[in-house]
């Protein structure tokens, strides 16, 4: 099942399936290593703040709006 990254709980892992956004949005996430096929793990989700994820050995903080536009498949 494909869901937004924002819907995952801390500790869950997933594979990025699609990035829903324009070319600037996509290139920004590609530069951070977040591209289709990448395995991500949610580190923490704050109620009013960013979603902290881990991609490879790097931790990234994504705003809630950005995390809602990253579609993933749970592992």
* CA 66, chain centre distance (Å): 8
What confidence score (pLDDT) does residue 47 get? 85
Residues across the chain: 75
16 close to 27: Cβ distance less than 8 angstroms: no
Q: What pTM, to 2 d.p., does this model score?
A: 0.91
pLDDT per residue of the chain (75 residues) written in tens, 0 to 9: 899 999 999 999 999 999 999 999 999 999 999 999 999 999 999 888 899 999 988 999 999 999 999 999 999
Q: Coil, helix or strand for 39?
A: strand
The total domain count for the chain is 1
Q: Domain residues for 22?
A: 2-74
Average pLDDT value over all residues in the chain: 94
Domain CATH for 51: 2.30.30.90
What confidence score (pLDDT) does residue 38 get? 95
The count of other CB atoms within 10 Å of the CB of residue 54 is: 14
């Amino acid at each position: 099942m494909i869901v937004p990254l924002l819907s995952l709980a801390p500790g869950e892992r997933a594979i990025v399936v699609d990035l829903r956004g324009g070319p600037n949005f996509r290139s920004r996430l590609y530069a951070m290593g977040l591209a289709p096929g990448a395995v991500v793990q949610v580190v923490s989700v704050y109620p009013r703040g960013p979603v902290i994820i881990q991609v490879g050995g790097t931790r990234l903080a994504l705003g809630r709006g950005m995390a809602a536009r990253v579609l993933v498949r749970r592992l």
